[in-house]
Amino acid sequence: MRYYLIAGEASGDLHGSNLIRAIHEQDAHADIRCWGGDRMQAAGATLVKHYRDLAFMGFVEVIAHLRTIMRNIDFCKKDIQAFKPDVLVLIDYPGFNMRIAEWAKKQGIRIVYYISPQVWAWKEKRVLKIKRDVDKMLVILPFEVDFYKKWNYKATYVGHPLIEVINNERNNLPVTPISDKPIIAILPGSRAQEIKVKLPIMLKMVKHFPDFCFVVAQASAQPDSLYKEIIGNEPVLLVKDQTYNLLKQARAGLITSGTATLETALFGVPQVVCYKGNAISFWLATKLVSVKYISLVNLIMDKPVVTELIQSELTEANLKMALARLLQDEKYKQELKADYKELWHKLGDKNASSLAAAEIISLVSE
């Protein structure tokens, strides 16, 4: 069968790659074409467009790149028509993917959405478009099933794909030592614009904690020059394609909001969640978003497990105080450890990629 997958970010590339492997295991004749990244290509798909050319974050940034986005959408439609897939699999990335879903439905193409858009956070009425256009919704957060049920739409919980990834990493792959000093991990995100905004603030912690080695995780899609320009002469290490090896060794982490917050928690690393973006984009987001937290850890646990420093709160003084608490407050560290354990319990132990592949193949076979 012919599968067309679309992912637009680093996390989508990771989860898409594991889904591609699972599809190949269950369908020996699978022909897979994708928008994604190096991981999806390595897993056995023909890569059409890399996510580094697609990832625009924030209202203002999207408007500034609107012409490029519309050209990508038109190109994607033509490529799908030429490929004639049996199923279109959309992986998160809603601004782009929901437009493609609306068009593909009219072409009679079967559509599976794997990793739901965060419609429970903002623009909730997008569920109506999902009901209209998407044949099967596969969700990775436990509370999403009940959310969709409220809208009289069936969603299937397949588990969170990070569970299988991190279980494999923790159990099967050895640690490669990075430094003799205790490590603080810095994960500044995967997009150039967020790295430029947040990494300089994160690096201000180096002078306050001289007994630690600060290690920056470089996004695979970003060039060395981006980081070296920001880091300058700061005594920090830069590692590429070693994020999980880094998290295995870290005493604490300064983490950009997003999937990385959940990854860090699943490795048991105390963290401060950092977010700072375009001021206009953030102001617009506050008018539209209806969730209490920005980190997946706090959203899943429905309480403030990890400290979130958002926008104007992300200052040198606040970050220094939050990091000191992670390193010095033993009671807080024990509470965090217990909450992380409960987080694992909530997410369960399903093999998300395998279950998602089975659901996709089942739909196509009907």
pLDDT band of 124, cuts 50, 70, 90: confident
pTM, to two decimals: 0.81
pLDDT of residue 59: 47
Q: How far is CA 276 from CA 198, 257, 273, 284, in A?
A: 6, 9, 10, 14
Residue 72 has pLDDT above 80, yes or no: yes
We report the CATH number of the domain holding residue 136 as 3.40.50.2000
Is the pLDDT assigned to residue 206 strictly greater than 60?
A: yes
pLDDT at 65: 54
Angle (nearest 5°) at CA 102 between 143 and 157:
20
Residues 317 and 201 grouped into a single domain? yes
Mean predicted lDDT score pLDDT of the chain: 91
> Mean per-residue pLDDT for 262-288?
77
Report strand pairing: 307-310 vs 271-275. parallel
Across 161-180, b (16+ Cβ under 10 Å) vs e yields: bbbbbbeebeeeeeeeebee
Q: Whole-angstrom Cα distance, residue 361 to residue 359?
A: 6
Q: Which burial class, exposed, middle or buried, applies to 228 when counting CB atoms under 10 A from its CB (0-12, 13-18, 19+)? A: exposed
Q: How many domains does the chain have?
A: 2
Q: What is the pLDDT of residue 360?
A: 98
Scanning the chain, the segments in alpha helix (DSSP H) are 10-26, 38-42, 59-64, 66-83, 94-106, 126-133, 143-150, 161-172, 192-203, 224-231, 243-249, 259-266, 279-288, 296-301, 316-328, 330-347, 352-365
- Assess whether 135 and 66 both reside in one domain: yes
Alpha carbons 68 and 139: distance in angstroms, whole number:
29
Question: Which has the higher per-residue pLDDT, 110 or 279?
Answer: 110
Give pLDDT, residue 279. Answer: 57
258 in the same domain as 218: yes
Total residues found in the chain within this entry = 366
The answer on 211 and 150 residing in a single domain is: no
Assess whether 212 and 276 both reside in one domain. yes
- Please, which residues have CB within 8 angstroms of residue 131's CB and are 6 or more apart in sequence? 151, 152, 153
Please tell me whether residues 126 and 216 are part of one structural domain.
no
Walk across the sheet containing 46-50 and list its strands. Answer: 46-50, 31-36, 2-7, 87-91, 110-114, 136-139, 155-157
pLDDT for the residue numbered 194: 87
**Mean of pLDDT values over 179-206:** 94
Please give the residue range of the domain that contains residue 104: 2-159+350-365
* Whether pLDDT at 287 is above 50: no
**Is residue 76 pLDDT above 80, yes or no?**
yes
**pLDDT(283) > 80:** no
Tell me what the mean pLDDT of segment 65-92 comes to.
Answer: 90
- Mark whether 354 and 324 lie in a shared domain: no
Summarised one tens digit per residue, pLDDT across range 295-343 is: 999 999 999 999 999 988 999 999 999 999 999 999 999 999 999 999 9
Please indicate, yes or no, whether residues 179 and 278 belong to a single structural domain of this protein: yes
For residues 35 and 120, membership in a common domain is answered with: yes
Please tell me the predicted confidence (pLDDT) of residue 286. Answer: 53
Residue 93 near residue 12, CB atoms below 8 Å:
yes
Same domain for 281 and 225? yes
pLDDT above 70: residue 291: no
Residues 177, 86: one domain?
A: no
Domain identity same for 154 and 196: no
